[in-house]
Amino acid sequence: MNKFFLSLTIIFSINAVASAEVFIISPKNGAKVSSPVEVIFGLKGMGIAPAGVNFPNSGHHHLLINLNELPDLKSGIPADANHLHFGKGQTQALIELDPGEHTLQLLLGDWMHVPHEVPVVSEKVKIFVLD
């Protein structure tokens, strides 16, 4: 009986990770917005935990701004103007952006800011910031 429940738990955990999905709820792709831009983060199949807290199947959001390529997915995500960390577990942010075209993308990182073994990364959203 115990073995049966253990198997169920393991299968459930693996499924939760395999189906994890991160996405930008707002702004929508192609949106014309004004700065500061309110960005709302979405996450399915995993939990949010602050940086430094090692909790299974969880992580915190990183907003990638105007990147042509993803950072190295095997090491810590850089922290600079193009890689913003939300280590308190925030699920939205107000971002100052210059007028013009910008891209936004989310990448989940674990408690040590490293992407997960199966990286949880969103589609890229292209927005136009008005004068």
Binding region for Cu ion (CB under 5 A):
85, 109, 113
In angstroms, what is the minimal distance from the CB of 117 to Cu ion? 16
Nearer residue to Cu ion within complex by CB, 35 or 73? 73
Rounded to whole angstroms, how far apart are CA atoms 97 and 15? 37
Looking at the Cβ atoms of 27 and 109, the one nearer to Cu ion is 109
Contact 63, 39 (CB under 8 A): yes
**Residue of 29, 23, 26, 12 lying closest to 101 (CA atoms):** 29
Residue 37 or residue 63: which is nearer to Cu ion going by CB?
Answer: 63
Smallest gap from residue 5 Cβ to Cu ion (A):
34
Within 8 A by CB and 6+ apart from 108, the residues are 20, 22, 43, 46, 59, 60, 61, 62, 115, 116, 119, 120, 121
Nearer to Cu ion, 107 or 129 (CB): 107
Question: Whole-number minimum distance, CB 76 to Cu ion, in Å?
Answer: 8
Closest approach of Cβ 83 to Cu ion, in Å?
Answer: 8
